[in-house]
Structure 1
Amino acid sequence: MASYRIALNFEDGVTRFVECRDDEKVLDAAFRNKINLPMDCSDGVCGTCKCRAESGAYDLGDDFIDDALTADEAASGLVLTCQMKPSSDCVIAVPTTAAACKTGQQKFTASVASVVPHNDAAIVLELDIEGAAAPAFLPGQYVNIDVPGSGQSRSYSFSSASGETRVGFLIKKIPGGLMSTWLEHAEVGTKLELTGPLGSFYLREVQRPLLFLAGGTGLAPFLSMLEVLARTNPEQKVHLIYGVTRDLDLVLVDEIEAYTKRLANFTFDTVVADVASSHPRKGWVTQHMPEDVLNGGDVDVYLCGPPPMVDAVRKHLDDTGVRPNSFHYEKFTPNAVAKEAA
C-alpha cells in the first residue's frame, strides 16, 4: 500500500504535512492528524470541503454531485477533500486559516552548525535539526527563528531543500540588526527555536517556462527551488535574474553557476544597480528582462525582493502588456518579523 505526502497550505500561510494512503481520502488523513479541514457532510454533497489542488495526481471518484463540484471546477483543479484519494504527493490550498481548522504552527529545535559571512552583505547560516525527523516544507517557504535572549523572532526563507536534517538560510547583514548582531558571536552548537513552515510563496507544479527574479538576499528561496528542480530535472526552461545594489552584494554566484551543470535548461544573469560598478549588466532587473524569457506570457514568474522591486516589476509587466500565466511574489524588508506574499 502506497502512502503520499500531502501539504496543506492554509490562507494564513501556515503549512502542515500529512501522510495519506492511496486508499484513504485526504479529509480522513487530515482528521487522523488532528487537522479539522472544513466539512459538513463528508459525502460529496455539500461542497464545504472544497479546496484547490495545486500539484499532484489524484482520483475524485464519482460519488459526488454536480452542486458540490462541477465538471468545470474539477477541471480547474478544485477538489473535494472528502472524495480525493492521492496517487502522488500533492499540495492543497485550503481556503481558511489554520486556526479555524484547529491546527497551529509547528515548532522545532535546531543547533547552529556554521555561520559564514559573505563580505559585508550577507551571512549563510546552517542549522542542524534536533531529533530524527527532518522538517518538511515547500521550496520557497520560510520559518521564524527566535533570536536568543531577545524575546523576538525574524523570518528567513530556506535556501536548502526539504527533507534534510541540515537546513540553510541566506541572511542580509544589517549593521546593528538584531539577528546580524547575535550571529557575530554565535557559537556552534547553540540551540535555536524555529516556527514554521510558513508562506504562500512556493514553487508550484512546473508546467511551463519559469522566470525567477531575486533581489539581494531574496535569492534564498530560489536556491531551495533550484535544488528541488535539479533533483527532478524538468525539461522546462528556467531563467534567474539576480539583482543587487553593489558588487559586494553578489553572493553565492558559484552556487548558482553550479546549477547550470545540473539543470540542462537553466540560465541566469546578474545585475548591479550601482552606476559606478564595472559589472557588464548595470541598472535594474526590469532593464534586463528580454522578451524571450517572458515567452509571450506563457511563463510562471516568481519574484522575491524588497517592496520597490516588486512594485517596479509589476509596473513593467503592465507597461509592456505582458500578462504571465501566473505571478507569485514575496515582499520583504530587512527587519520584518513577518512577510507578505501573493
Structure 2
Amino acid sequence: MIVKAVFSVTALSGVLAGLLVIADKYLADYGECKIDINDGSKTLKVKGGSSLLSSLAREKIFLPSACGGRGTCGYCKCKVTDGVGPLLPTELPLLDEAEKAKQIRVGCQVKVKKDIKIVIPEELFYIKEFQAEVEKLEDLTYDIKLLRMKLLDPTEITFKAGQYAQLYTKPYGKVKDVVSRAYSMASPPSTKNYIDLMVRLVPEGICTTWVHQHLNVGEKVKVVAPVGDFYVREGEGEMIMVAGGSGMAPLASMLNDIAEHPVNRPITYFFGAVTKRDLFYLDEMRELEQRIPNFRFVPALSKPAPEDEWQGETGLITAPLENHLKGRDTSKVQAYMCGSPGMINACVNVLTKNGVDRKNIFFDPFA
C-alpha cells in the first residue's frame, strides 16, 4: 500500500508539473518586455515568455552556447541584475558560489517574463549571423568529416584562431526542430571568405547525423560566429598542445596562423587516437613541422591494431605528455587543449603535477 501511495503521489506530481509547463508555454501572456543591456547602453523590446538566450538571439545578440540551449554546457552565462526570480534547480549545477554572488545566471534557463536588466561583454555585439553555402564535405576518417562553408552574407569573417562557430541544422527525417551546436573553426583567420569545421559523427547526435547523412554540397546553411575565448595568449615559454579526434580543429587553425605569423617559441603537439584509422592530418602536420621552427607533432595510439604496424608512441596521451614534461622548467609553459572532458581533466592533472601554472592552461572541452 505504501509503495502504491508513493507511486501515486509521484505520478500526480509529474502530471501537475507537466500541466504547469504546458500552461506556462501556451496560456501565459507576458506581453512586451524590455531587456536593458549594460546600464542602458542598448535596450531591446521583446515578446515575453522565451528564454533570455533565444530572446537575445532573435535580436542578433548571441550569448555563447555550445549545447544549443539544452542547459548542459553552461556557456550562456551572463549577469542579471534585475527582473528575474530565484535560481532554478537546472542552473545550480552550472554555477559556482562566486558566480551566484555576482548575480550570474544561465541564459537558456532564465525566461524573460518582465523587464530585465543584464550585463554582457561588449565583444558579444561583434558576433554575427552568417548565411553560407556548403562548398566541401570530405571524409577525414571513417567518423570525422571536414565541412567547408563559403560565406555569402556577410562574405567575410574576422576571428581569432581557436574560436568556434554555432552551426544550425535543418529539419530532416523525424527531426522537426532546428538545433544548433558549437564546432571549433579549423580554417586559419587569413581565410576570411570561408569556414572549415571538423564534425565527428556522434551516435544519435542530431547535428552530427545531419552533417554526415543529410547535408549536401551546394546547400545553404546558417552559422553564428566567432564565439569563445580559446586562442593563443602572449608568452615566452613552450607551447604544449593536446587534442584527440575532432579536437584537432582549433589547434590546426592556431598552427596555420602561427606559420603565417611566426612566434619564437618551441611548440609540441600531442595528438591521441585509438588506432591508425583514427589518425588524420598527418601530412598537414609534417608540412607544418617544416614551416614552423621548433614545432614537433607527436601522435600516440592507445590501442594500435596489429595490422597498424605502429612504431610511434603508444598508450593514453597523458603518457608521452608526462614524459615530455618531467625534469623540465615548466614555469613559463602554456598549454592549449581540445577534446573530451575526461581527456582534458587527465591532462590538466599531469600538467599541474609537473609544475605548469593552472592559469596558463587553456582548453575547449567537448562533451
Aligned pairs for 1:2-21 (under 5 A) are: none
Instruction: Say whether residues 1:173 and 2:201 are aligned partners.
Output: yes
Cα distance, 1:102 vs structure 2: 8.4
Over aligned residue pairs, what C-alpha RMSD do you find?
2.6
For residues 327 and 130 of structure 2, the distance between their equivalents in structure 1, rounded to whole angstroms, comes to 39
For residues 113 and 315 of structure 1, the distance between their equivalents in structure 2, rounded to whole angstroms, comes to 40
Is residue 206–residue 234 contact of structure 1 (8 Å, CA) maintained in 2? Answer: no
Structure-2 residue corresponding to 1:186: 215
Aligned pairs for 1:55-204 (under 5 A) are: 97-98=120-121, 103=125, 105-131=127-153, 133-149=155-171, 150-163=177-190, 164-183=192-211, 184-204=213-233
2:253 is matched with which residue: 200, 224, 230?
Answer: 224
Residue 297 of structure 1 aligns to a residue whose secondary structure is: coil
Structure-2 residue corresponding to 1:288: 320
Cα distance, 1:233 vs structure 2: 1.6
Structure-2 residue corresponding to 1:328: 362
- Per chain length, whose mean CA-contact separation is higher, i.e. which structure has more relative contact order (CA < 8 Å, sep 6+)? 1
For residues 13 and 209 of structure 1, the distance between their equivalents in structure 2, rounded to whole angstroms, comes to 30
User: Which deviations, in whole Å up to 9, do the C-alpha atoms of 1:78-127 show, x marking residues without a partner?
Assistant: xxxxxxxxxxxxxxxxxx624x7883742111100010113323101111
Structure-2 residue corresponding to 1:307: 341
The 3 A distance-change label for structure 1 pair 292 and 102 is closer
> Quick check: 188-197 or 166-175, which moved more?
166-175
The 3 A distance-change label for structure 1 pair 235 and 318 is closer
AA aligned to 2:197 is F
For residues 125 and 349 of structure 2, the distance between their equivalents in structure 1, rounded to whole angstroms, comes to 38
Cα distance, 1:317 vs structure 2: 2.5
For residues 200 and 137 of structure 2, the distance between their equivalents in structure 1, rounded to whole angstroms, comes to 13
Q: TM-score with structure 1 length normalisation? A: 0.64
Q: TM-score with structure 2 length normalisation? A: 0.60
Structure-2 residue corresponding to 1:317: 351
Is residue 348–residue 361 contact of structure 2 (8 Å, CA) maintained in 1? Answer: no
Structure-2 residue corresponding to 1:75: none
Aligned pairs for 1:14-29 (under 5 A) are: none
AA aligned to 2:365 is K
Determine what percentage of the aligned residue pairs are the same residue.
25
2:273 is matched with which residue: 225, 244, 269?
Answer: 244
Cα distance, 1:13 vs structure 2: 5.2
Cα distance, 1:132 vs structure 2: 5.9
Cα distance, 1:301 vs structure 2: 0.7
Cα distance, 1:291 vs structure 2: 2.4
For residues 214 and 300 of structure 2, the distance between their equivalents in structure 1, rounded to whole angstroms, comes to 32
Residue 116 of structure 1 aligns to a residue whose secondary structure is: strand
User: Which deviations, in whole Å up to 9, do the C-alpha atoms of 1:114-157 show, x marking residues without a partner?
Assistant: 10113323101111001464111111000100011241011110
Bigger radius of gyration among the two: 2
AA aligned to 1:328 is F
